[in-house]
Amino acid sequence: MKRKTLTQYLVEQQRSGQSMKPELRLLIETVARACKTISHAVSKGALGGLLGALETENVQGEVQKKLDVISNEVLLEANEWGGHLAAMASEEMETIHLIPNRYPKGEFLLLFDPLDGSSNIDVNVSIGTIFSVLQMPNGVEGADVTENEFLQPGRAQVAAGYAVYGPQTVLMLTIGQGVVGFTLDRETGSWILTAEDITIPADTKEFSINMSNMRHWAPPVRRYIDECLAGKTGPRGKDFNMRWIASMVADVHRLITRGGIFMYPWDSREPNKPGKLRLMYEANPMSMLIEQAGGAATDGNQRILDIQPTTLHQRVGVVLGSKNEVERVTQYHQEAQT
């Protein structure tokens, strides 16, 4: 069987009249190349002296791991010179990263969580990179980019994806035409198309939530999980299984592969924060992928992709995955309000 590479896939998309701009293709290939470099660094682990924490904290007040910072640098360096971007934003940087004046500017905005699942870095559990692509409003090729240009609802994304650095390194991608998956061939260094027309089953018997927060959940979340836990003899009439990897990339990759529901909902530990996960470079790209694969994504109340962001690093409650389950959780929230 002839193996199709990421480049071939993207060129075919361009030719098939999907009106994908060449700069977007360049952007996606550049991000994918950066993910290869990050994958290589991750796989070195202790041999590269890359495990462990730094003494710095990021804007979220989280201690940065060495690999968080390296991954951020890799993505910045790979993307700043190609002429396809107006600016970048990252979980690891408080303010946006402007393209240096010595390079040409483009019309796209790139946002990323360079290494998601940081608590798993040192214990050799799957971690990954999440990215989201927006366009400058009105297609302006940007000199004076500010945070404001980034504050677009997730439905405006032109592409989104993630890489998982696990037993295999995989890249899942959407350019708004469904979801496709690539596996990194470590011998040739190529991303090979290994999954097409990815569809998340509408029903599932698998949920994913950090159960240790149960006492802090809102009643609708508690109701949903209680009903799952009640199993065959409960209101759902079936037994459920639970999985929690604590890397959103890995949990989402499981459910995009075989169905499931993932939740990191609002809870009362920090009642003024809408959730733990970040809207613009975690929830939005994942929600676009999930919807493109036939699933659903809400914050419990509304579609995540419709949320108008007000700040770059804002947080959001997340409920995503198999459509019927996400709709059930969202309905429980609605019922609790009436």
Chain residues 61-120 in contact with ligand AHM, contact rule CB under 6 A: 62, 91, 113, 116-119
Pair 156, 162: CB distance under 8 Å: no
> What b/e sequence results for 202-214 when a residue is b if at least 16 CB atoms lie within 10 Å of its CB, and e otherwise?
bebbbbbbeeeee
- The least CB distance from residue 336 to ligand AHM, in Å, is 23
Query: Tokens 């609708």 correspond to what residue?
Result: 220
Is residue 113 within the footprint of Mg ion (CB under 5 A)?
Answer: yes
The closest of 25, 120, 71, 88 to 280, measured between CA atoms, is 88
- Residue 119 binding result from ligand AHM, Mg ion, none, given CB thresholds of 5 to 8 Å by partner type: ligand AHM
Is residue 248 within the footprint of ligand AHM (CB under 6 A)?
Answer: yes
- The least CB distance from residue 309 to ligand AHM, in Å, is 17
- Helices then strands, counting H and E runs in the chain, come out as 8, 17
Which of the stretches 15-23, 24-32, 165-173, 245-253 binds ligand AHM when contact is defined by CB under 6 A?
Answer: 245-253
Which of the stretches 240-248, 267-275, 288-296, 300-308 binds ligand AHM when contact is defined by CB under 6 A?
Answer: 240-248
- The least CB distance from residue 325 to ligand AHM, in Å, is 17
Is residue 185 within the footprint of ligand AHM (CB under 6 A)?
Answer: no
Contacts (Cβ under 8 Å, ≥6 apart) of 30: 78, 79, 82, 84
Is residue 126 within the footprint of ligand AHM (CB under 6 A)?
Answer: no
Structure tokens at 69: 């910072």
Query: Tokens 């927006």 correspond to what residue?
Result: 134
The closest of 278, 287, 337 to 310, measured between CA atoms, is 278
Is residue 122 within the footprint of ligand AHM (CB under 6 A)?
Answer: no
Pair 116, 63: CB distance under 8 Å: no
Pair 133, 157: CB distance under 8 Å: yes
Instruction: State how beta strands 241-242 and 206-208 pair.
Output: parallel
- The least CB distance from residue 4 to ligand AHM, in Å, is 30
Nearer to ligand AHM, 100 or 167 (CB): 167
Which of the stretches 7-15, 29-37, 112-120, 193-201 binds Mg ion when contact is defined by CB under 5 A?
Answer: 112-120
- Residue 264 binding result from Mg ion, ligand AHM, none, given CB thresholds of 5 to 8 Å by partner type: ligand AHM
- The least CB distance from residue 171 to ligand AHM, in Å, is 17
- Residue 311 binding result from Mg ion, ligand AHM, none, given CB thresholds of 5 to 8 Å by partner type: none
State which amino acid sits at residue 253.
H
Number of residues forming the site for Mg ion (CB under 5 A)? 2
Nearer to Mg ion, 91 or 206 (CB): 91
Pair 68, 215: CB distance under 8 Å: no
Query: Tokens 């596996």 correspond to what residue?
Result: 183
Is residue 116 within the footprint of Mg ion (CB under 5 A)?
Answer: yes
Choose which of 131, 182, 264, 266 interacts with ligand AHM (CB under 6 A).
264
Query: Nearest 5°: phi and psi at 312?
Result: -60, -40
The closest of 241, 202, 248 to 225, measured between CA atoms, is 241
- The least CB distance from residue 274 to ligand AHM, in Å, is 15
List interacting residues with ligand AHM (CB under 6 A): 62, 91, 113, 116-119, 210, 246-248, 264
List interacting residues with Mg ion (CB under 5 A): 113, 116
